[in-house]
Amino acid sequence: MRKGKILIGLLAAMIISIVAVGCSSKTSQPVAFRAEIAPGTLSVDEYAKYYPKQYDTFMKTAEMSNEGSKYGGSEEFDKLTQWPFLKEIFAGYGFAIEYNEDRGHNYTIEDVTKIKRINEKSIASCWTCKSANVAGVVEEMGDAYYGANFHDLKGKMTEGITCANCHDPQTMNLVITQPPLRDTLTRLGKDPDKLTTQELRTMVCAQCHVEYYFAGDKKIVTFPWDKGLTPTDVLEYYEEKDFSDWTHAKAGVREIKAQHPEYETFMGSTHAEAGLSCADCHMPYTMNGGEKISSHWWTSPLKHMNESCLTCHREGEEALKERVFYTQDKVADMMAKVGNVTVEALEAIAEADAKGGNQDALKEARALQRKGQFLVDWVGAENSMGFHNPQLIMETLNTSMDYAYQAINKATESITGVAAPKWDVEAPKTNTETMKVLHDKENAPKS
Ligand code: HEC
Ligand code: HEC
Ligand code: HEC
Ligand code: HEC
């Protein structure tokens, strides 16, 4: 019954989107617009002259409100107060000094300039997802841009995020402009200029809403996607590179900071598999002055569920919102639990080290803690509190908790010399493995 309703909704949404793009084929973008905006134009004011309706909604990113939302919203509340474990796990790193909930696109320049994490030694890489000027500056300076001093380039960052971050000025076709995404796709064998419109409706967001790190001496902003997009794939990538962002002040663990992996988390989710893009929920079609346009007010979709969700879901706004909160509450409670055990692992390592624990066992404890910490940090850094992919996020928290307890056991062993008991039977470790064994048996050639 419910399934039928969803299907009808999906069809309706597809029809709407086909009408909106003018029945074009899925692989090439229609040239629906042709304005006299000079190539390379960055300023929003120029685009606003031709597209006042999209501009109207774009300017709403300046609005500050948490209305309708429980864990998201635009007010920059302090994450360290809400999640005390974060302050402990980031000890010795900038994120322990100031770490806020994200705000609207309107505030990128203001926020990156005022955050206390930025100091006199910060590098230009930090401008990368804050300004439309970046692509041009990278063209001009090459890789030297990334490691340059943050403050030296301040004068060049005249624009925040503008229409030019996602659109070709003359055709308004969607384009990938950010150098790190262009480089990463190219490295992985995908041409950034040959994405379908449907892919672009997600990939324009993946220019910034992704996990990244500063690679090598040049500190080039790089997306760690070579082994896949899941949290454990990304962790494996960092392990192979032996990458770390900083060393934990108390426990001496070489830690990795997770960024804002909305894109990676979303991929593989129920909604991604149903064919949705970021734009479907975050840029729904909306009426403005009698015209149907894509909303450019990037914010919590819970502020406009009628346009974002009820096109497919027919259970009503309140009921659906309760389902979202149900997921988010479970994730938030689990994250706090895992976060606390993560802190206990750090304490156990620091204490065992102070008491002269065995260094080989401590080395193993640190390696385990590092993995667990990255995974719980991923969940906290992802901005939907689990909504984008509840199943993956719960699995990630579970794996993180497992690493944290193993780290505690190893730290204890470093003092007592007694290893924690292990139950290592010759049997599949997961149900997936069991099913595979059964399947292989069934399909084995009969003798
Ligand atoms: C973060 C990326 C992004 C930015 C920044 C952005 N847009 Fe868009 N824009 C989109 C997406 C995604 C669509 C939907 C395109 C599609 O489905 O074909 C879109 C669609 C449009 C369209 C096509 C008509 C419509 O409403 O669907 C116009 C015109 C447009 N945008 C104008 C602008 C203007 C003007 C600005 C700056 C004030 C801007 N955009 C900034 C992503 C962006
Ligand atoms: C050029 C980089 C960039 C691109 C492209 C981009 N974003 Fe963002 N986005 C940011 C940054 C940076 C912030 C946080 C700004 C702050 O806190 O000052 C943000 C914040 C947000 C927020 C939080 C707003 C709030 O009110 O709390 C949402 C939602 C969002 N982006 C959605 C999207 C979607 C959807 C797309 C693609 C259509 C997209 N963004 C494309 C950089 C980007
Ligand atoms: C099925 C609808 C849906 C899709 C598709 C979707 N999101 Fe979301 N997104 C949500 C919901 C719901 C929230 C939680 C908002 C809240 O807690 O208020 C959210 C939260 C966010 C936030 C934080 C907003 C805030 O208020 O701080 C960002 C940023 C974001 N999404 C980006 C993305 C990006 C990037 C993609 C594509 C990779 C994407 N979303 C795909 C529904 C969606
Ligand atoms: C284009 C259609 C479409 C849109 C738009 C859409 N959804 Fe869904 N959603 C689906 C489908 C399909 C499923 C999977 C079938 C089901 O669970 O009923 C689903 C499942 C869900 C579930 C259950 C997921 C789970 O893992 O338990 C929730 C909650 C949900 N959607 C919330 C939302 C919210 C909130 C929005 C708007 C921000 C939204 N959806 C927008 C199609 C859509």
Per-residue model confidence as pLDDT tens digits over 27-57: 456 556 778 899 999 999 999 999 999 999 9
Residue 282 lies in a domain: yes
* 80 close to ligand 3 (CB < 6 Angstrom): no
What percentage of the chain reaches a pLDDT higher than 70?
93
- Distance of CA 294 from the midpoint of ligand 1 (Å): 7
Residue 424 lies in a domain: no
Residue 423 lies in a domain: no
Mean pLDDT for 160-171 is: 95
Residue 141, pLDDT > 80, answer: yes
Residue 340, pLDDT > 80, answer: yes
- Distance of CA 386 from the midpoint of ligand 3 (Å): 10
Mean pLDDT for 319-346 is: 98
Mean pLDDT for 129-144 is: 94
* 164 close to ligand 1 (CB < 6 Angstrom): no
* 61 close to ligand 1 (CB < 6 Angstrom): no
Residue 446 lies in a domain: no
Residue 444, pLDDT > 90, answer: no
Over residues 86-118, the pLDDT tens digits come to 999 999 998 888 888 888 888 888 888 888 888
Residue 342, pLDDT > 80, answer: yes
Confidence at 285, pLDDT banded by 50, 70, 90 = very high
- Distance of CA 212 from the midpoint of ligand 2 (Å): 15
Tokens of 261: 């992996």
136-150, 175-189, 336-350, 416-430 — which is least confidently predicted? 416-430
- The whole-number pLDDT of residue 282 equals 98
* Closest CA relative to residue 197, chosen from 23, 6, 11, 13: 23
Confidence at 10, pLDDT banded by 50, 70, 90 = low
Pairing of the two strands 285-288 and 254-255: unpaired
* 202 close to ligand 3 (CB < 6 Angstrom): yes
Q: Which structural domain range is residue 161 located in? A: 2-416
Q: Which ligand is nearest to the CA of 52?
A: 1
CATH number, domain with residue 366 = 1.10.1130.10
- The whole-number pLDDT of residue 16 equals 47
Residue 18, pLDDT > 90, answer: no
Confidence at 1, pLDDT banded by 50, 70, 90 = very low
**CB-based pocket (< 6 A), ligand 2:** 73-74, 102-105, 107-108, 111, 129-130, 161, 165, 178, 204-205, 207-209, 278-279, 282-283, 298-299
Ligand 1 atom index nearest CA of 277: 12
How many other C-beta atoms can be found within 10 angstroms of the C-beta atom of residue 176? 21
- The whole-number pLDDT of residue 396 equals 98
Residue 101 lies in a domain: yes
* 255 close to ligand 3 (CB < 6 Angstrom): no
- The whole-number pLDDT of residue 29 equals 60
Residue 280, pLDDT > 90, answer: yes
Confidence at 390, pLDDT banded by 50, 70, 90 = very high
* 279 close to ligand 4 (CB < 6 Angstrom): no
Mean pLDDT for 371-395 is: 98
- The whole-number pLDDT of residue 3 equals 46
Confidence at 19, pLDDT banded by 50, 70, 90 = very low
Residue 407 lies in a domain: yes
* 341 close to ligand 4 (CB < 6 Angstrom): no
Residue nearest to atom 34 of ligand 4 (CA): 309
Ligand 1 atom index nearest CA of 200: 12
Q: Which ligand is nearest to the CA of 163?
A: 1
Mean pLDDT for 144-151 is: 94
Pairing of the two strands 254-255 and 291-294: unpaired
Q: Which ligand is nearest to the CA of 282?
A: 2
Mean of per-residue pLDDT scores for the chain: 90
Q: How many domains does the chain have?
A: 1
Residue 271 lies in a domain: yes
Mean pLDDT for 338-367 is: 98
Mean pLDDT for 179-186 is: 97
Q: Which tops the pLDDT comparison, 429 or 332?
A: 332
- The whole-number pLDDT of residue 50 equals 94
Over residues 405-421, the pLDDT tens digits come to 999 999 999 999 999 99
Residue 381, pLDDT > 70, answer: yes
- Distance of CA 29 from the midpoint of ligand 1 (Å): 13
Ligand 2 atom index nearest CA of 102: 17
* 72 close to ligand 3 (CB < 6 Angstrom): yes
Over residues 206-256, the pLDDT tens digits come to 999 999 999 999 999 999 999 999 999 999 999 999 999 999 999 999 999
Residue 438 lies in a domain: no
